[in-house]
Amino acid sequence: MKIKIVNIKPNSRFHFGNISVDSDTALADTDEYLHSDVLFGALVSNLSQIKPKPEIESFIEAFNNGNILISSAFYCIEKTELSSNDPNKYLFFLPKPVTATSTIDLNNYDKIKGIKKVKFITYKTLEIKPENWKLNNSIGMHPIEYKEINNYVQSQSNFSFKEEINITFYNKISTPNVNIHLSNKNAGHPFVVTSLQISDLSCYGLKVHFYFLYNIKDKSQCANFELATQLLAYNGVGGERSSGCGFIDGIREAEYIPPYFTSLDINKFQMTLSKVIPKNKEELSNFLALNTSIRGGRNSEKGPFRKVRMINEGSIFSNNVVGKNEELGTEQIRYGKCISMNIPQMYSI
Protein backbone atom coordinates (compact mmCIF):
# COMPACT_ATOMS: atom_id res chain seq x y z
CA MET A 1 0.00 0.00 0.00
CA LYS A 2 1.26 3.48 -0.90
CA ILE A 3 0.01 7.02 -0.38
CA LYS A 4 -0.49 9.90 -2.80
CA ILE A 5 -0.61 13.39 -1.32
CA VAL A 6 -2.97 15.70 -3.21
CA ASN A 7 -1.49 19.15 -2.63
CA ILE A 8 -4.05 21.90 -2.15
CA LYS A 9 -3.52 25.63 -1.87
CA PRO A 10 -5.24 27.40 1.04
CA ASN A 11 -8.68 28.79 0.21
CA SER A 12 -9.09 26.47 -2.80
CA ARG A 13 -12.71 25.50 -3.43
CA PHE A 14 -14.16 22.06 -4.17
CA HIS A 15 -17.63 20.83 -5.05
CA PHE A 16 -18.16 17.08 -4.72
CA GLY A 17 -21.93 17.07 -5.10
CA ASN A 18 -24.46 15.22 -3.02
CA ILE A 19 -27.57 13.17 -3.64
CA SER A 20 -30.56 15.47 -4.14
CA VAL A 21 -34.29 15.27 -4.70
CA ASP A 22 -34.11 16.75 -8.21
CA SER A 23 -31.79 18.60 -10.56
CA ASP A 24 -32.89 21.97 -9.16
CA THR A 25 -31.20 21.18 -5.83
CA ALA A 26 -28.25 19.14 -7.13
CA LEU A 27 -25.71 21.89 -6.41
CA ALA A 28 -27.17 23.03 -3.10
CA ASP A 29 -24.91 20.79 -1.00
CA THR A 30 -21.54 19.07 -1.27
CA ASP A 31 -19.87 16.06 0.30
CA GLU A 32 -16.96 16.80 2.62
CA TYR A 33 -14.27 14.83 0.78
CA LEU A 34 -13.44 13.01 -2.45
CA HIS A 35 -14.99 9.54 -2.51
CA SER A 36 -13.28 6.59 -4.17
CA ASP A 37 -15.89 6.22 -6.93
CA VAL A 38 -15.46 9.87 -7.97
CA LEU A 39 -11.67 9.54 -7.84
CA PHE A 40 -11.87 6.46 -10.07
CA GLY A 41 -13.97 8.35 -12.60
CA ALA A 42 -11.48 11.23 -12.63
CA LEU A 43 -8.51 8.90 -13.22
CA VAL A 44 -10.21 7.09 -16.10
CA SER A 45 -11.34 10.37 -17.64
CA ASN A 46 -7.81 11.80 -17.42
CA LEU A 47 -6.23 8.81 -19.13
CA SER A 48 -8.89 8.63 -21.84
CA GLN A 49 -7.84 12.08 -23.05
CA ILE A 50 -4.43 10.93 -24.24
CA LYS A 51 -4.41 7.11 -24.50
CA PRO A 52 -6.06 4.84 -27.12
CA LYS A 53 -9.21 2.90 -26.27
CA PRO A 54 -7.46 -0.51 -25.79
CA GLU A 55 -5.24 0.98 -23.07
CA ILE A 56 -8.24 2.58 -21.36
CA GLU A 57 -10.09 -0.74 -21.38
CA SER A 58 -7.03 -2.46 -19.91
CA PHE A 59 -6.78 0.24 -17.24
CA ILE A 60 -10.44 -0.17 -16.26
CA GLU A 61 -10.10 -3.96 -16.23
CA ALA A 62 -7.21 -3.63 -13.75
CA PHE A 63 -9.62 -1.85 -11.39
CA ASN A 64 -12.34 -4.43 -12.06
CA ASN A 65 -10.16 -7.41 -11.15
CA GLY A 66 -8.50 -5.75 -8.15
CA ASN A 67 -5.06 -5.25 -9.68
CA ILE A 68 -5.46 -1.55 -8.89
CA LEU A 69 -7.10 -0.48 -5.64
CA ILE A 70 -7.76 3.06 -4.41
CA SER A 71 -9.29 4.49 -1.26
CA SER A 72 -11.30 7.64 -0.90
CA ALA A 73 -9.27 10.84 -0.52
CA PHE A 74 -9.34 12.00 3.08
CA TYR A 75 -7.72 14.98 4.77
CA CYS A 76 -4.20 15.23 6.12
CA ILE A 77 -2.29 18.03 7.82
CA GLU A 78 1.23 18.85 6.69
CA LYS A 79 3.74 20.29 9.13
CA THR A 80 5.48 22.50 6.58
CA GLU A 81 8.70 23.00 8.52
CA LEU A 82 9.51 19.28 8.80
CA SER A 83 11.52 17.44 6.15
CA SER A 84 9.71 15.24 3.63
CA ASN A 85 11.09 12.00 5.13
CA ASP A 86 10.15 12.86 8.71
CA PRO A 87 7.57 10.32 10.02
CA ASN A 88 5.71 13.22 11.65
CA LYS A 89 5.52 15.31 8.46
CA TYR A 90 1.87 14.40 7.86
CA LEU A 91 -0.97 13.70 10.23
CA PHE A 92 -3.42 11.47 8.37
CA PHE A 93 -7.12 11.59 9.21
CA LEU A 94 -9.60 8.75 8.79
CA PRO A 95 -13.38 8.48 8.65
CA LYS A 96 -15.04 8.14 12.03
CA PRO A 97 -16.22 4.55 12.68
CA VAL A 98 -20.00 4.30 12.35
CA THR A 99 -20.13 2.61 15.77
CA ALA A 100 -18.28 5.39 17.64
CA THR A 101 -21.32 6.57 19.62
CA SER A 102 -22.34 2.98 20.39
CA THR A 103 -19.22 2.52 22.53
CA ILE A 104 -20.20 5.30 24.94
CA ASP A 105 -21.75 4.10 28.20
CA LEU A 106 -24.61 5.78 30.04
CA ASN A 107 -22.25 7.55 32.44
CA ASN A 108 -20.88 9.58 29.51
CA TYR A 109 -24.12 9.93 27.58
CA ASP A 110 -23.81 13.73 27.54
CA LYS A 111 -20.81 13.39 25.21
CA ILE A 112 -22.71 11.64 22.43
CA LYS A 113 -23.83 14.90 20.82
CA GLY A 114 -20.23 16.07 20.45
CA ILE A 115 -19.08 12.72 19.05
CA LYS A 116 -21.88 12.77 16.47
CA LYS A 117 -20.48 16.00 15.03
CA VAL A 118 -17.07 14.42 14.44
CA LYS A 119 -16.37 13.28 10.88
CA PHE A 120 -12.61 12.64 10.90
CA ILE A 121 -10.21 11.14 13.42
CA THR A 122 -6.59 10.01 13.55
CA TYR A 123 -5.46 6.42 14.01
CA LYS A 124 -4.17 7.12 17.51
CA THR A 125 -7.63 8.45 18.38
CA LEU A 126 -9.09 5.05 17.50
CA GLU A 127 -7.09 3.51 20.32
CA ILE A 128 -8.92 5.40 23.06
CA LYS A 129 -12.61 5.52 23.94
CA PRO A 130 -14.60 8.20 22.08
CA GLU A 131 -15.58 9.96 25.31
CA ASN A 132 -11.86 10.78 25.72
CA TRP A 133 -11.42 12.24 22.23
CA LYS A 134 -10.21 15.83 21.98
CA LEU A 135 -12.93 17.49 19.87
CA ASN A 136 -12.15 20.37 17.54
CA ASN A 137 -14.89 21.30 15.07
CA SER A 138 -15.56 18.13 13.00
CA ILE A 139 -12.23 16.59 14.04
CA GLY A 140 -11.50 14.10 16.81
CA MET A 141 -7.92 13.77 18.05
CA HIS A 142 -6.00 12.00 20.77
CA PRO A 143 -5.23 14.56 23.51
CA ILE A 144 -1.51 13.77 23.19
CA GLU A 145 -1.59 14.44 19.43
CA TYR A 146 -3.43 17.69 19.96
CA LYS A 147 -0.81 18.77 22.47
CA GLU A 148 1.95 17.84 20.01
CA ILE A 149 0.31 19.97 17.31
CA ASN A 150 0.08 22.91 19.71
CA ASN A 151 3.72 22.48 20.73
CA TYR A 152 4.77 22.40 17.06
CA VAL A 153 2.81 25.58 16.34
CA GLN A 154 4.35 27.34 19.34
CA SER A 155 7.85 26.37 18.19
CA GLN A 156 7.31 27.62 14.62
CA SER A 157 5.44 30.85 15.29
CA ASN A 158 6.94 34.27 15.81
CA PHE A 159 4.18 35.12 18.24
CA SER A 160 2.59 33.29 21.15
CA PHE A 161 -0.88 31.72 21.04
CA LYS A 162 -2.56 32.23 24.40
CA GLU A 163 -5.20 29.62 23.68
CA GLU A 164 -5.24 26.21 22.00
CA ILE A 165 -5.20 26.46 18.22
CA ASN A 166 -8.42 26.02 16.30
CA ILE A 167 -8.01 23.45 13.50
CA THR A 168 -10.56 23.07 10.75
CA PHE A 169 -10.16 21.51 7.30
CA TYR A 170 -12.71 23.56 5.43
CA ASN A 171 -15.64 25.91 5.55
CA LYS A 172 -18.80 25.37 3.55
CA ILE A 173 -19.72 28.43 1.52
CA SER A 174 -22.89 28.97 -0.51
CA THR A 175 -23.00 31.40 -3.41
CA PRO A 176 -26.07 32.48 -5.40
CA ASN A 177 -26.02 31.94 -9.17
CA VAL A 178 -28.31 32.63 -12.11
CA ASN A 179 -28.23 30.42 -15.20
CA ILE A 180 -28.78 32.55 -18.31
CA HIS A 181 -27.87 29.90 -20.89
CA LEU A 182 -30.76 27.48 -20.47
CA SER A 183 -33.61 27.64 -22.95
CA ASN A 184 -36.15 25.99 -20.65
CA LYS A 185 -38.21 27.28 -17.74
CA ASN A 186 -35.17 27.32 -15.43
CA ALA A 187 -33.41 30.05 -17.42
CA GLY A 188 -32.89 33.16 -15.33
CA HIS A 189 -33.95 31.49 -12.10
CA PRO A 190 -31.54 31.85 -9.15
CA PHE A 191 -29.97 28.82 -7.52
CA VAL A 192 -27.36 28.19 -4.84
CA VAL A 193 -24.02 26.39 -5.23
CA THR A 194 -22.35 25.09 -2.06
CA SER A 195 -18.64 24.34 -2.08
CA LEU A 196 -15.83 23.58 0.36
CA GLN A 197 -13.24 26.27 0.94
CA ILE A 198 -10.01 24.76 2.25
CA SER A 199 -8.78 26.39 5.45
CA ASP A 200 -5.64 28.52 5.54
CA LEU A 201 -3.54 27.27 8.47
CA SER A 202 -0.29 28.85 7.27
CA CYS A 203 -0.12 31.05 10.38
CA TYR A 204 0.35 27.80 12.33
CA GLY A 205 2.99 26.38 9.99
CA LEU A 206 0.39 23.86 8.76
CA LYS A 207 -1.32 23.04 5.46
CA VAL A 208 -4.44 21.04 4.65
CA HIS A 209 -4.23 18.47 1.84
CA PHE A 210 -6.06 15.38 0.60
CA TYR A 211 -4.45 11.95 0.50
CA PHE A 212 -5.49 8.55 -0.81
CA LEU A 213 -4.16 5.02 -0.52
CA TYR A 214 -3.46 2.89 -3.56
CA ASN A 215 -2.11 -0.55 -4.37
CA ILE A 216 -1.01 -1.70 -7.83
CA LYS A 217 -0.53 -5.44 -8.25
CA ASP A 218 -0.19 -5.34 -12.05
CA LYS A 219 3.07 -3.46 -12.53
CA SER A 220 2.33 -2.95 -16.22
CA GLN A 221 -0.32 -0.42 -15.12
CA CYS A 222 2.04 1.69 -12.98
CA ALA A 223 2.88 4.15 -15.76
CA ASN A 224 -0.77 4.70 -16.74
CA PHE A 225 -1.80 5.11 -13.10
CA GLU A 226 0.96 7.64 -12.48
CA LEU A 227 0.01 9.59 -15.60
CA ALA A 228 -3.69 9.61 -14.73
CA THR A 229 -2.86 10.73 -11.19
CA GLN A 230 -0.54 13.55 -12.24
CA LEU A 231 -3.17 14.83 -14.67
CA LEU A 232 -5.39 15.61 -11.67
CA ALA A 233 -3.25 18.71 -11.23
CA TYR A 234 -4.14 19.84 -14.77
CA ASN A 235 -7.79 18.81 -15.01
CA GLY A 236 -8.87 19.23 -11.40
CA VAL A 237 -11.47 17.09 -9.70
CA GLY A 238 -15.13 17.32 -8.74
CA GLY A 239 -17.80 19.63 -10.10
CA GLU A 240 -18.10 23.33 -10.90
CA ARG A 241 -14.57 23.50 -12.31
CA SER A 242 -15.63 26.16 -14.80
CA SER A 243 -16.46 28.30 -11.77
CA GLY A 244 -13.04 27.92 -10.18
CA CYS A 245 -13.61 24.79 -8.08
CA GLY A 246 -11.54 21.62 -8.02
CA PHE A 247 -8.05 22.89 -8.73
CA ILE A 248 -5.10 20.92 -7.36
CA ASP A 249 -1.57 22.24 -6.82
CA GLY A 250 0.21 18.94 -7.50
CA ILE A 251 0.48 15.25 -6.63
CA ARG A 252 3.35 13.68 -4.72
CA GLU A 253 4.27 10.40 -3.12
CA ALA A 254 4.40 10.17 0.66
CA GLU A 255 7.87 9.03 1.69
CA TYR A 256 6.69 7.55 4.98
CA ILE A 257 3.71 5.20 5.17
CA PRO A 258 2.31 4.54 8.66
CA PRO A 259 2.29 0.81 9.47
CA TYR A 260 -1.45 0.76 10.23
CA PHE A 261 -2.03 1.21 6.49
CA THR A 262 0.21 -1.68 5.47
CA SER A 263 -0.25 -4.40 8.11
CA LEU A 264 -3.78 -5.64 7.41
CA ASP A 265 -4.97 -8.79 9.21
CA ILE A 266 -8.24 -10.02 7.67
CA ASN A 267 -8.89 -12.15 10.76
CA LYS A 268 -9.38 -8.99 12.83
CA PHE A 269 -12.06 -6.32 12.68
CA GLN A 270 -11.74 -3.83 9.84
CA MET A 271 -13.07 -0.43 8.77
CA THR A 272 -13.74 0.59 5.18
CA LEU A 273 -11.65 3.38 3.64
CA SER A 274 -13.54 3.39 0.35
CA LYS A 275 -17.12 3.18 -0.83
CA VAL A 276 -18.03 -0.49 -1.25
CA ILE A 277 -20.48 -2.52 -3.31
CA PRO A 278 -20.54 -6.07 -1.83
CA LYS A 279 -20.18 -8.63 -4.58
CA ASN A 280 -22.55 -11.14 -2.94
CA LYS A 281 -24.74 -11.79 0.11
CA GLU A 282 -21.86 -13.41 1.96
CA GLU A 283 -19.78 -10.23 1.79
CA LEU A 284 -22.77 -8.17 2.88
CA SER A 285 -23.29 -10.46 5.88
CA ASN A 286 -19.69 -9.80 6.97
CA PHE A 287 -20.61 -6.21 7.86
CA LEU A 288 -21.31 -5.73 11.55
CA ALA A 289 -22.32 -2.06 11.27
CA LEU A 290 -22.68 0.14 8.23
CA ASN A 291 -23.98 3.34 6.70
CA THR A 292 -25.08 3.51 3.08
CA SER A 293 -25.68 6.14 0.43
CA ILE A 294 -27.24 6.27 -3.03
CA ARG A 295 -24.81 6.92 -5.89
CA GLY A 296 -25.40 7.45 -9.59
CA GLY A 297 -28.68 8.45 -11.17
CA ARG A 298 -27.52 11.52 -13.04
CA ASN A 299 -28.96 12.37 -16.43
CA SER A 300 -26.93 11.94 -19.61
CA GLU A 301 -27.50 12.32 -23.33
CA LYS A 302 -28.39 8.63 -23.42
CA GLY A 303 -30.83 8.89 -20.54
CA PRO A 304 -30.52 8.63 -16.74
CA PHE A 305 -27.99 6.24 -15.23
CA ARG A 306 -29.05 3.61 -12.74
CA LYS A 307 -28.68 4.29 -9.05
CA VAL A 308 -26.76 1.99 -6.74
CA ARG A 309 -26.64 1.80 -2.96
CA MET A 310 -23.07 1.76 -1.63
CA ILE A 311 -21.61 1.11 1.81
CA ASN A 312 -19.90 4.21 3.16
CA GLU A 313 -16.44 4.74 4.54
CA GLY A 314 -16.14 4.02 8.26
CA SER A 315 -18.33 0.91 8.15
CA ILE A 316 -17.22 -2.09 10.22
CA PHE A 317 -16.80 -5.67 9.03
CA SER A 318 -15.01 -8.93 9.81
CA ASN A 319 -13.42 -11.61 7.64
CA ASN A 320 -12.88 -10.59 4.02
CA VAL A 321 -14.69 -8.12 1.77
CA VAL A 322 -13.48 -7.56 -1.80
CA GLY A 323 -16.33 -5.58 -3.32
CA LYS A 324 -17.13 -5.10 -6.99
CA ASN A 325 -17.55 -2.46 -9.67
CA GLU A 326 -21.06 -1.93 -11.01
CA GLU A 327 -22.03 -0.91 -14.54
CA LEU A 328 -24.76 1.73 -14.30
CA GLY A 329 -25.15 2.37 -18.01
CA THR A 330 -23.25 2.70 -21.24
CA GLU A 331 -19.66 3.67 -20.42
CA GLN A 332 -20.61 4.36 -16.81
CA ILE A 333 -18.97 2.27 -14.07
CA ARG A 334 -19.35 2.84 -10.34
CA TYR A 335 -16.18 1.83 -8.47
CA GLY A 336 -17.00 -0.30 -5.41
CA LYS A 337 -13.83 -2.19 -4.46
CA CYS A 338 -12.85 -2.32 -0.79
CA ILE A 339 -9.78 -0.90 0.90
CA SER A 340 -9.75 -1.27 4.67
CA MET A 341 -7.68 -1.11 7.82
CA ASN A 342 -7.79 -2.90 11.16
CA ILE A 343 -9.49 -1.22 14.11
CA PRO A 344 -9.74 -2.04 17.83
CA GLN A 345 -12.33 -4.62 18.87
CA MET A 346 -14.38 -2.10 20.87
CA TYR A 347 -15.80 -0.71 17.59
CA SER A 348 -17.22 -4.10 16.59
CA ILE A 349 -20.38 -3.64 18.68
Q: What is the pLDDT at residue 267? A: 87
Q: What is the pLDDT at residue 15? A: 75
Is pTM beyond 0.75? Reply is yes
pLDDT digit of tens for each residue in the chain (349 aa)?
999 999 999 988 887 766 554 444 455 567 788 999 999 999 999 999 999 999 999 999 999 999 999 999 999 999 998 898 899 999 999 999 999 998 888 787 788 888 999 999 999 999 999 999 998 888 999 999 998 998 888 887 665 666 678 888 988 777 766 665 555 555 556 666 777 888 899 888 899 999 999 999 999 999 999 999 999 988 878 765 566 666 888 999 999 999 999 988 888 999 999 999 999 999 999 999 999 988 876 666 666 677 889 999 999 999 999 999 988 765 678 999 999 999 999 988 7
Task: Report d(CA 212, CA 75) in Å as an integer.
Answer: 9
Task: Report d(CA 161, CA 272) in Å as an integer.
Answer: 37
Q: What is the pLDDT at residue 23? A: 46
Neighbours of 271 (CB within 10 A): 24
Domain limits, the chain? 2-263
* HSE of 252, CA atoms in CB hemisphere, 13 A: 12
Q: What is the pLDDT at residue 266? A: 86
Q: What is the pLDDT at residue 172? A: 79
The one-letter amino acid code at 14 reads: F
Q: What is the pLDDT at residue 179? A: 64
Taking a C-beta distance cutoff of 8 angstroms, is the pair 312, 274 a contact? no
Q: What is the pLDDT at residue 166? A: 82
Taking a C-beta distance cutoff of 8 angstroms, is the pair 119, 140 a contact? no
Q: What is the pLDDT at residue 14? A: 84
Task: Report d(CA 224, CA 56) in Å as an integer.
Answer: 9
Task: Report d(CA 257, CA 107) in Å as an integer.
Answer: 38
Task: Report d(CA 14, CA 262) in Å as an integer.
Answer: 29
Three-state secondary structure along 179-190?
CCCCCCCCCCCE
